[in-house]
Structure 1
Amino acid sequence: MSQHRTAAANPFRQPKAVWAVAFACVISFMGIGLVDPILPSLSHDLHATPSQVSLLFTSYLVVTAVAMLVTGFVSSRIGAKRTLAAGLAVIVVFSALAGASGSISGIVGFRAGWGLGNALFIATSLAVIVGSASGGFAGAVILYETALGIGIAIGPLLGGELGGISWRGPFLGVAVLMAVALVATLALVRPTPRPERRASVLDPLKALRHRGLLTMGLTALLYNWGFFTVLGYAPFPMDLGTHELGYVFTGWGVLVAVFSVFGAPRLQERLGIAKALYLNLALFAADILAIALFTEDRTVLIVCVVVAGAFIGINNTITTQAVMTAAPVERPTASAAYGFVRFIGGGLAPYAAGRLAEHSGVHAPFYAGAAAVAAGILVLATGHSLLAQAERNQREEAARAAAGEGQRERLEDRALAEDVGSAS
């Protein structure tokens, strides 16, 4: 039992290659919250409505979702390292082009290209980290979600600081940082052998025939509807400056990171996967409902947005582990299928929020977001037995990882004893 806990609780002893990919993940996930602080200034400077500006999320995430279907097809032919490098290179090019653009339509289009690179990188990076990390599967996912949380936390801060100079700054800043991540990936990540079987574009869609994967994907779609309603539309009713918005969403991102790493494992250990997710989704729906009721109260709005980070962090970690262990398919395929479904919800929500606000007032998007998350609980409940199976799978995998870690330590101790004996 102690060995199990040691292995599961130490996800940060990793090879350099894993850290290189994790660093690139941080920069990649910065792109999610990077534009939040500059949404109002983009609307003002480029004479665009909030729903038009929200298309920066929609084009980025919808293209990311659709492109998830081809990530396995590409990586099984050119290898994981080349796929990672290609994704990073695409992000560098399109983030730089977005920064050089002069119209909202141009930025929206270049964000779509950015989404293509993001899909190639995200699906492959999770598979590389899981395949290369030490300490077992759970530790690898925690490391991945830590990178996600840090990226989400730093993104708004960087966006606010650079956006205070010019709205172009955040896009150009990401281009530079992604170029650094590309160099680190090329230098530190070893080429991985190509899979024996070449993946098909249809593999992720076929994987959705499995009830567990489809149930988790639909739950994530509804959850992400609420998530990206808050992320994509809340900056407008806050009526804050670029720097202030950056600080608010940095606080939100810090809670995402903290609860991804520390809150989610403890909550899952205490309640189990199913109860932890039911509770977390219920609290998140209540939080968005509070935003809907008090949208015009800036203090309540800011507090609820920051607190939402805790629920997002918990949900991201627990659901990612559950999906990757419940799906009876290869993990890259499961990651692509799950990403395809959930990012569809995240992509459509910000635009729908803007349109709802224009026609029904600023409260309406958040009522819809709260309802979507509540509906996610009902969808998740239809797969309750599958969550129990995922939990059993995780315990078995953690036990195997602990046994492997213990054997490695015994071999190291034996080698050390032999060295001491020969020296004496």
Structure 2
Amino acid sequence: MTSRRLDRVRDAVEAASAREGFTLDRGQRDVLERLLQVAAGLPGLGARRRPAPRPAPRPTSGPASHVASHAPSRPAPRGLYVWGPAGRGKSWLAGELFTAVSRELAPGATKRVHVYDLFRELHAAIHARRVASRGGARAAVGQHGPTRGWRTRALAPEPDSPDARPEPRPDTPPSAVDAAIDDLLRGTTLLYLDELHLHDSGDATLLTRLLRRTFEAGVVVLATSNYAPDTLLPNPLWHHLAEPGIALLREHLDVVELAGPTDYRSLGGRGRPGFAAGAWLAPGTTAQLAARGLRAPGPGEATRLRSGPRTFAVSAAREGHDAGPAELWVTFEDLATRATSTLEYLDWAARFPRWVVTGVPLLTEVDREAQQRFVAVVDVLCDADVELVVTSPHDRATFLAARTDRPDAFRTASRLQLLDAPVAARRS
């Protein structure tokens, strides 16, 4: 990348921080320099542009066979793995640089995917290919239980996990996983894996397959995470399944920590739209809702919301209109204590740009599955930039003080600080 292009990328990131109302601290500037080094080595820019390497053609018939290796035409520059505490600005920095770099590359040469969307997309594509190869339908991948990808105890790898068995089943072509990955990578020069974390053994083996295929294709990887690479899939019973992927990350990516004492989300949403436009309302009175232009649903608005083959009870599913966006109203009980999953949250986040979750208790008052579902809800909505309004009998400070040891709950606590938390008027 030419110095002029790099200057444009740097200027775009710094202009974005100015719009947000803050100045990059020393740690963030150091990480920005490392990100710019990655950008400087990307192929396909300026007069020396080369097409992004494409996977080798796959056989369309005949017996199942492994896909041939597709080495890049020249060594790919090293990528970057940025990790550190929640709220330090990892995803923000990488996201702004990714946006600026995308403007300098050919359309479609960059791809950003959040960990939830990554595994959902790959599982769905693998399932579709396996169904097609068998000539019939079966239960969709990802419908195994209430918390796919958020298990709270160690389970054996499932049959649909790509490396769960030493030998593939005769009716499952071993190329199905690689074919789905190749489709994801096709035409890509830079792949950004946002909020990378692993708590599922099947996803760990799938990540290894993805990384191997990605690096064989010469695609540069940028990743952000709250976890150092060696701490991915922390469950000691299954950590060994993540070790091959961790080795690939360390082989092809430089690892840098963005540490520091400041959680920038604790400064609030600074008037931003989307997730940060939401609020934590305690206790969630009619007056508090009305002050935000919200009206609690009447009994006649209760309905069942379809997602895939299943339906779920919600308080209201309002269509958008000139006065406001489409709204999903759902109780904590219906959202987190029922058998919902990230599949539903991703689906509903795409359909409803505003969610109101009512009656949120302290997480220490509910079981571990409900805790983990709420963690997943906040993660999905924040990544999708969906406005979240919470009503709770507890103020936000009390809620955050009642800590839970669920995986990634620390990130939930950070993200909830983006919400406005007005103090309720004292009752006389």
Output the TM-score relative to the length of structure 2.
0.26
Output the TM-score relative to the length of structure 1.
0.26
Structure that is richer in helix per residue? 1
Structure that is richer in strand per residue? 2
Q: Relative contact order, CA 8 A, sep 6+: which one is greater?
A: 1
